[in-house]
Amino acid sequence: MDERPSQFDRLPTGTKLLLILSAALLPLGLALAWAARDSLHDANIANREASEEQGRAVARAIESLIARNALALSVAANGAFHDNSDDPCGNAAQSLAVTPAIANRFTIRDTNGKLLCAHGNFEPRREETLVAPGDIRLWVSRQDNAVDYRVGVAGGMATGDVTVDALRAAAAEVSKDIDELVVTDGGSQLAIIESHRAASTAQPLRGRHRIGSGQLEVHTAVNVDHTTIFDQVAMMLPILMWVVAALLSWYLVRRSLIQPLGRLTSAVTAYQPGDTLELPEKLGPAAEIRELGQAFERAVARIEESERHMAEALEGQRRLVREVHHRVKNNLQVVASLLNIHGRSATMPEARAAYAAIGRRVDALSVVHRNHFAEVEESRGISLRPLLVELSATLRASAPDDAKATPIQLDVDHLYTTQDAAVAAAFFVTEVVEFAMLDQPGQPIEIELRRISELVAHLTISSNALTPAKDGDAQRQQFSRIIGGLARQLRSPLDERMGRLSVDIPVFPD
């Protein structure tokens, strides 16, 4: 069997998918588009006309409701005036009680507009409006949330109202698709149905309809059902299109993408650094998948080469750092040896003491550097515990003969700090211990280091020689200035008490 890719297999996957789906679905799409075009147009026109008719029907329903109420009140008021009753509102109310679905709130006035009686706690707002017999006046009453009407009868006038609830019920009986309904008399308007439509939805069909001989205007907004070509297609051939598209898409995607990608994923997952990336021989007909496999090979080769160069550079850097540390340590030892030689050859006690003091400070720096060199490989910082132990031993060894027996007691937690903080702490211990040994040889010296928070430790040195400076004691004042400067270098306040000096040291978290 010939395994060489055919002309079709060499095409990009997107082109293959487009050709197959077009060949299968294009005839169906053309046939459906031709068949649905006319029906879609007719359906949209019919829906629009139906919505317009609903708006007109709602306006007629509102006008009919007002007319029924006005007619019923006119008949009842005529009867009350005809009977010359002392209580015309009572007679009119009895007449209206037998009429279904008629409001029973009204007032009766004489021909001059004088109020004769009222029924149902009704107070019309336009008392100055006079109406001739057989005539009718309509207006919107925002205060009562209703539409008021006034009819003229023989002997006077009668006024009633139709509430928003009654108007809304009348509109709802006619149309369930009404989105907004407003009645206005030109000056005031009454919202019967308020729109709750979202801004992103289709706009309803709006209309204006005059009622009551033009005295009122009804504004309507009716939702329109829209039919689209997608609705027609989904209604006519959903099953056939789904089967054809699903089977063809599944076959093409599985053969061209899923199976080759699965084999490629397995090969890449099995790859381990240092091994050779072995990709499967067959990656399917998709040219993009084959190019992806080649890209993986090139990327792995570049990564391995880059890692090899970085490992070589890192090793060279480590050798260079070790060499620098070694040379610095040797130079410090040479300086300490020279100071020791010159100190022994000095003839004056002050000079020997000065050489010894400088030598102790160089030794302190050498101790810090040696501990830093020991920890540099792990990058954990400088361990303060071995640093202080070695520094204490060095100070006792370099002390004068009468101070060599000075006991130095250590109570130190196992903490780590930076090189800058370690140098300042080493100089602080050197200055304090040297001052105590030289001032009162043989007196015990205690060094304590305790963690007080996650990032801070407290260093305390205690000795009977650590007393406040007295006036005129230049040596003690010079000592105070030096340790004060070291405390500032540590960015710590100096806690100076009788027999004790304390500073804070930054440390790494546990």
CATH number at residue 492: 3.30.565.10
Residue 342 pLDDT > 70, yes or no?
no
Q: What element of type H or E holds 193?
A: strand 189-193
Percentage of the chain exceeding pLDDT 90: 7
Q: Is residue 19 part of a domain?
A: no
User: Is there a contact between 418 and 383 (Cβ–Cβ < 8 Å)?
Assistant: no
pLDDT at 17: 63
pLDDT at 3: 54
pLDDT at 18: 62
Range with the poorest average pLDDT among 26-30, 106-110, 157-161, 478-482: 26-30
Do 138 and 287 fall within a single domain? no
Domain boundaries, position 50: 38-196+203-222
Range with the poorest average pLDDT among 108-112, 184-188, 260-264: 260-264
Range with the poorest average pLDDT among 141-145, 335-339, 365-369: 335-339
Confidence of residue 459 (pLDDT cuts 50, 70, 90): very high
Do 309 and 386 fall within a single domain? no
Residue 52 pLDDT > 70, yes or no?
yes
Do 281 and 357 fall within a single domain? no
Q: What element of type H or E holds 173?
A: helix 164-174
> What is the pLDDT of the chain when averaged over all its residues?
78
Do 79 and 104 fall within a single domain? yes
Residue 128 pLDDT > 90, yes or no?
no
Q: Is residue 11 part of a domain?
A: no
Confidence of residue 451 (pLDDT cuts 50, 70, 90): very high
Q: Is residue 18 part of a domain?
A: no
Q: Is residue 14 part of a domain?
A: no
Residue 355 pLDDT > 70, yes or no?
no
From 345, 367, 400, the end of a domain falls on 345
Query: CA–CA separation, 155 vs 87, rounded Å?
Result: 14
Residue 381 pLDDT > 90, yes or no?
no
Mean pLDDT of 177-188: 86
Per DSSP bridges, beta strands 156-163 and 178-184 are unpaired
Task: Specify the 3-state DSSP secondary structure of 284.
Answer: coil
Q: What element of type H or E holds 304?
A: helix 287-345
Which whole-number Å values give the CA distances from 103 to 57, 76, 226, 479, in the listed order? 22, 12, 39, 107
Q: What element of type H or E holds 189?
A: strand 189-193
pLDDT at 1: 41
Do 300 and 391 fall within a single domain? no
Do 332 and 475 fall within a single domain? no
Do 211 and 72 fall within a single domain? yes
Tokens 């000095």, located at residue = 346
Tokens 């790494």, located at residue = 508
Residue 446 pLDDT > 70, yes or no?
yes
Nearest Cα residue to 360 out of 385, 325, 390: 390
Query: CA–CA separation, 356 vs 344, rounded Å?
Result: 9
Instruction: Identify which has the larger pLDDT, 445 or 364.
Output: 445
Do 319 and 378 fall within a single domain? no
Do 83 and 137 fall within a single domain? yes
The total of structural domains in the chain comes to 3
Q: Is residue 480 part of a domain?
A: yes
Confidence of residue 250 (pLDDT cuts 50, 70, 90): low
Do 183 and 53 fall within a single domain? yes
Confidence of residue 464 (pLDDT cuts 50, 70, 90): confident
Q: Is residue 23 part of a domain?
A: no
Instruction: Identify which has the larger pLDDT, 322 or 397.
Output: 397
pLDDT at 178: 83
Confidence of residue 466 (pLDDT cuts 50, 70, 90): confident
Residue 365 pLDDT > 70, yes or no?
no
pLDDT at 460: 93
From 345, 378, 410, the end of a domain falls on 345
- pLDDT tens digits along 276-306: 666 666 666 667 777 777 777 788 778 878 8
Instruction: Identify which has the larger pLDDT, 499 or 344.
Output: 499
Confidence of residue 503 (pLDDT cuts 50, 70, 90): very high
Residue 14 pLDDT > 80, yes or no?
no
Residue 51 pLDDT > 90, yes or no?
no
Q: How many CB atoms lie within 10 A of CB 174?
A: 17
Do 414 and 426 fall within a single domain? yes
From 222, 256, 288, the end of a domain falls on 222
pLDDT at 461: 92
Do 364 and 293 fall within a single domain? no
Q: Is residue 6 part of a domain?
A: no
Q: What are phi and psi of 181, to 5 degrees?
A: -145, 125
Q: Is residue 17 part of a domain?
A: no
Query: CA–CA separation, 171 vs 60, rounded Å?
Result: 9
pTM above 0.85, yes or no: no
Instruction: Identify which has the larger pLDDT, 503 or 264.
Output: 503
Mean pLDDT of 337-359: 65
Per DSSP bridges, beta strands 445-451 and 495-497 are unpaired
